[in-house]
Chain A
Amino acid sequence: MLKPLVSLVGISLVCAVLLATTRTQTADSIHRNREAQTWRLAFDLVGAFATTNLDFASDVLILESGRRLVRGTVAGYAGDIGLLAALDEQQRLIGVRVTRHNETPGLGDFIDVQRNPWILQFGQRPLASVDSVTGATITSLAVKRGVRQLLAGEQ
């Protein structure tokens, strides 16, 4: 009874060391890549903006034009979904982008603007009338809930 336990614990330890090593070696590059991706999406939402401060203070960034970028996460079907929303001067939603997600390939990945224009509905119509997607109820509702939370936090 004890031997399988010891083996499993031993192998888990070896795996943990391997993972930790890879993680420390890649963490910086991954962080940089994710930030750059967020900025590409932000650029996509509000057009060019002049800031050299590539750091969100408490996940809100107020641009000179009075517009603001808000980011946050919401629990999706498979892990967290990272969201980035842009608001205009009157706190109205301009648009939303998903910065990262782990939703099911082919089913829940429609929230990625590169795969599907679904996310473009946000900002073009009231939040309540954004379509959900059959077969990916949890994913659709999670994104809507996340956007609602981001908006509530700003108002």
Chain B
Amino acid sequence: MGTLKSAALRHNPAWGQLLGLCPLLAVSNSMVNALGMAAASSFVMLGSSFTISTIRAWIPHHVRLPCFVLVIATFTTCAVMLLEAFAFDLYLRIALFIQIIVSNCMILGRIEAFASRQPPGQALLDALGTAIGFACALLALGAVRESLGHGTLFAGMELLLGGAASEWQIDLLPEGRRLIVALLPPGAFIIAGLLLGTGQALARSDKTDHESRETGPDLREVEG
């Protein structure tokens, strides 16, 4: 349980370690894109963490990086194929970004720092925590950007979740009062910065946080 919590909160990939920012900023312009990216990243994160952890005894130390990248690339390719087969409209919108999950340093970082040194159970928990943390960051950013930029929330969810979700759309802002900059890359940086600042302020005010006194090696040092 500690592993899960630590990975999702203290070592939150986006807000704690500032990893994986490219996909985070690129596809968080709406909730449905964010959710698709979160699902694909989680799939790759869990699959490759578990696989690497299972075969870690057979990976020679000095060729570990090619092995990690090979496994990550395999799961990413599988994710792309699954998306193209079962959520084609979403595939057309975010496939280009799904493909670059391969180079997401969040995944490689967690595998190098954790999954390649721990048994599969622990590695799965850590991967789950990291995936949840990344998903929360994506969805938070997606919610803010979509509600400010498009004036809606949950628009187009049927692309991912099927017909029933087409009624989920909530209209918040009328046309003309929307903040287009929220949808553009600069807006992504500004909003991500504001969310990051808020998170840091909250974490700092919470002095009784036991997580900060957790023992064990600080994994952040390994990741550079």
Interface residues, chain A, CB within 8 Å of chain B? 3-4, 7-8, 10-12, 14-15, 18-19, 22-23, 25-26, 29-30, 33, 36-37, 102-106, 109, 112, 114
| Interface flag for B88 (CB, 8 Å) | yes
Q: Which residues of A contact B62 (CB under 8 A)?
A: 4
Given A102-B96, A105-B26, decide whether A4 and B63 contact each other with a Cβ distance below 8 A. yes
Q: Scoring B residues 80 to 109 as 1 if CB is less than 8 Å from chain A, else 0, what string do you get?
A: 011011101001110011011000000000
Q: Chain A's interface: helix, strand, loop or mixed, by majority?
A: helix
- Decide: A105 and B96 in contact? CB cutoff 8 A: yes
Q: CA A135 – CA B86 in complex, angstroms?
A: 33
Interface residues, chain B, CB within 8 Å of chain A? 26, 51, 55, 58-60, 62-63, 66-67, 70-71, 73-75, 77-78, 81-82, 84-86, 88, 91-93, 96-97, 99-100
Q: CA A103 – CA B99 in complex, angstroms?
A: 11
Q: CA A23 – CA B74 in complex, angstroms?
A: 11
B72 nearest in chain A by CB position: A15
Q: CA A141 – CA B171 in complex, angstroms?
A: 42
Given A4-B63, A102-B96, A114-B92, decide whether A11 and B81 contact each other with a Cβ distance below 8 A. no
Given A18-B74, A18-B78, A19-B74, decide whether A7 and B97 contact each other with a Cβ distance below 8 A. no
- Decide: B70 and A12 in contact? CB cutoff 8 A: yes
Given A22-B81, A23-B81, A106-B26, decide whether A37 and B92 contact each other with a Cβ distance below 8 A. yes
In the assembled complex, the CB of B159 is this many whole angstroms from the nearest CB of chain A, namely: 13
Q: Which residues of B contact A37 (CB under 8 A)?
A: 88, 92
Q: Which residues of A contact B26 (CB under 8 A)?
A: 105-106
B60 nearest in chain A by CB position: A4
Question: Beyond the given A8-B67, A26-B84, could you list 9 further A-B residue pairs with CB under 8 A, ordered by the A residue number?
Answer: A4-B62, A4-B63, A8-B70, A11-B55, A11-B67, A18-B75, A22-B78, A25-B85, A105-B96
In the assembled complex, the CB of A31 is this many whole angstroms from the nearest CB of chain B, namely: 9
Which of A7, A12, A109 makes the CB contact (< 8 A) with B96?
Answer: A109
Q: Which residues of A contact B85 (CB under 8 A)?
A: 25-26, 29-30, 33
Q: Which residues of B contact A112 (CB under 8 A)?
A: 92
- Decide: A11 and B88 in contact? CB cutoff 8 A: no
Q: Which residues of A contact B97 (CB under 8 A)?
A: 105
